[in-house]
Amino acid sequence: MPLAEVQGDGRRTIYRISGMDCADCARGLEKKVGALASVSQVVVNFGAAKMTVLHEQGAEEAIVRTVKQAGYDAVLEKDKKQLENKSFWQQNKKAWTTLISGSVFLVAWVLDLWAGMPESVTTWLYAATIVIGGFRIAKSGLYGLKSRTLGIDFLMTIAVLGAAAIGEWAEGAAVVFLFSLGETLEAYTMDRTRHSLRSLMKLAPEEATVVREGREVRVPVESIHVGEMILVKPGDKIAMDGTVVEGGSTVNQAPITGESVPVEKNVGDDVFAGTINEEGALKIKVTRRFEENTLSKIVHLVEEAQAQKAPSQRFVDVFSQYYTPAVIVIAALIAIVPPLFLQQPFELWFYRALMMLVVACPCALVISTPVSIVSAIGNAARHGILIKGGVHLERLGAINTIAFDKTGTLTVGTPEVTTVIPLEGRDEGEVLTIAASLEAMSQHPLAKAILRRAKQIGARPMPVTGFASVTGRGVKATVNGTDYYLGNPRWFQDELQIALDSVQEQIAECQKKGQTLMLLGTGEKAIALIGLADQLRKESASVVAKLRELGVKQVAMLTGDNKGTASAVAERLGLTDCKAELLPADKLSAIQQWQSTSKGVAMVGDGVNDAPALAAATVGIAMGGAGSDTAMETADITLMADDLSKLPYAIGLSRRTLRIIKQNIAFSLLVKVVFLLMILLGYSTLWMAVLADTGSSLIVIANGMRLLRSKNGG
């Protein structure tokens, strides 16, 4: 991840912000930094506590100074370990002011209630509580006001000053302490939420063993270059993306792909940073620098995803922009109208207005969505599901149609021999020996399948002469002095003029099963039928069944394969629809047609020919994204492993996220309505109002954080 890269006449710098616990404050910081003359663009990522700024040369110091004025610390992206290595108490200065102000408040409260201390003494102690705990709050509130953001800190400042003005020093001190305590607890819980992402970043070791000038040396991963060789012992984590050049082992790829079963790795196989070498020693040639490896890209994309606002979050943000000023106006009317026009006591209604300011703060409402989105996206990443933003997370939960590509998605993508029917009294070993001899020089996937089957039964290819490949038809060669042909039935019947009347029934039966049929024969007759088929993934049927259980009404398949094969696959999997012999444009048309009749359509594919349909779908889902830059960059959602079983989990997680967001919003509004009624009826106090606001924020955060621990999606 770059510290700074030139973009036109400007410079793009990435900062890490410590102590960011308030989505409202993040908006204020974004506006304040954006107001600097040297800054052209700024984006504050609340979920990752990160700020990206596009600015003129030499503006870095002014940016850092502005961030500190807002009450936070900023460090450059390259120095982020400075923050990661600090404890919660070191990163959050407000925790110390909360502790000190709370101690003073407790002393004042004890002296006031039980020690019979003179009121003047306790008043000074309450005032000290307000100053110690409230200075930062007031500073932040005024800062927000200057940046045209009316936040919770500003409303609390008004409430505390108002309480002091009418002599309610104990109430004002209680407001400061409870609000400061709430903010500290919010900071702690948000820190826990972000820890799930930091734990991803810490998967890869900081050092690796590199072979340099014939010696093994331990060096920081940042200094390892593409093309160098690293050694990984059994039980060690792999530090860099690369290709195995020596050795063999099984590798636990769960941290990257979410796969539960270790994957066998041999010479030529790719491995990823952050995965765990289990058995044998490996020598790996580095293919990507540390900041460009798969793990770094996952972390970067997850951070970017957490920064993108979901539709529900955008609604809440717009709502709060109008809601907060309206609250201030209504509170002012409550304080002024009854005393002025109804001859009511000013102090009573002024106090109620202060309570309304506190209760009506939209803090819980504003944080209700982002904490849920951040938690869900972090959870998905840990399970090998890369979701590119809150908008895609929400859309996934609403879809009721899913379309799958066939080859490589529902099927393994590798054909295998499924049927061998010898004719003319020959046996399977004999015909596979001849077939393997003809295919030994071919690179066609069907040829490789025949060679694999021959090897399984111990049939070895024999030398051939006169080998020729006939495009679109098959191959021919001479084996032991006899000319043999291996290809499709049309070639035998139309061009070789070999009668197939006696085997037509067997040919029809194989094609009905969705097999690709090849005939082996001499120039005069067929001597064997060989049926091949792409094998279904072992999880395909169960995934389709789970999707139906989740309420997905239509589970369909879009494929370029022939209708017979497609129909056989669709029948075995229990699909609701199947469209075969499609070009990429036809797949696109099918997606567009379904979108006009359903709430949302997801397209699941893995090939280049699926790209138009993936882009047009409500949610595009790519298979097997680990190590694939294209899949990770372009798809809305990427299943990092070549594992369809992650799809129901992703949909279940999305729907649970939507439920929790709705719960949070409803709860936040309900608390406000209940306490506003209590205020108007005289059943609430100022400290109770603060407790209600702070408590609802903490409950909303805790509810959203449940998504971090979700293990089954739904």
Q: Which helix (H) or strand (E) holds 699?
A: helix 686-705
Coil, strand, or helix at residue 417?
A: strand
Lookup: tokens for 327: 């609250």
d(CA 599, CA 581): 26
Q: Which amino acid is at 476?
A: K
Residue pair 183/72 in contact (Cβ under 8 Å)? The answer is: no
**Judging by beta carbons within 10 Å of its beta carbon (0-12, 13-18, 19+), is residue 391 exposed, middle or buried?**
buried
Helix ranges (DSSP H) in 407-539: 428-439, 445-456, 489-490, 504-512
Lookup: tokens for 549: 């259980």
Buried-state track 137-152, b at ≥16 Cβ within 10 A, e below 16: bbebbebbeebebbbb
Which CA distances in Å does 209 have to 276, 302, 543, 566? 15, 29, 42, 50
Coil, strand, or helix at residue 507?
A: helix
d(CA 249, CA 209): 18
Is 236 a known active-site residue?
no
Orientation angle between helical segments 540-549 and 563-573, nearest 10 degrees: 60
d(CA 283, CA 36): 51
Give the torsion sign (CA, 316, 319, 325, 326).
negative
Select from 260, 342, 162 the least CA-distant residue to 539.
260
Q: Which helix (H) or strand (E) holds 401?
A: strand 401-405
Q: Interior CA angle at 522 toward 520 and 526, to 5°?
A: 50
Facing residues of 609 across strands? none
Which CA distances in Å does 691 have to 21, 178, 182, 287, 372? 18, 7, 8, 55, 22
Three-state secondary structure readout of 107-170: HHHHHHHCCCCCHHHHHHHHHHHHHHHHHHHHHHHHHHHHCCCCCHHHHHHHHHHHHHHCCCHH
First-to-last C-alpha distance (Å) of the chain: 34
Q: Which of 24, 191, 317, 405 is catalytic?
A: 405
d(CA 603, CA 647): 11
Question: Catalytic residue numbers?
Answer: 405
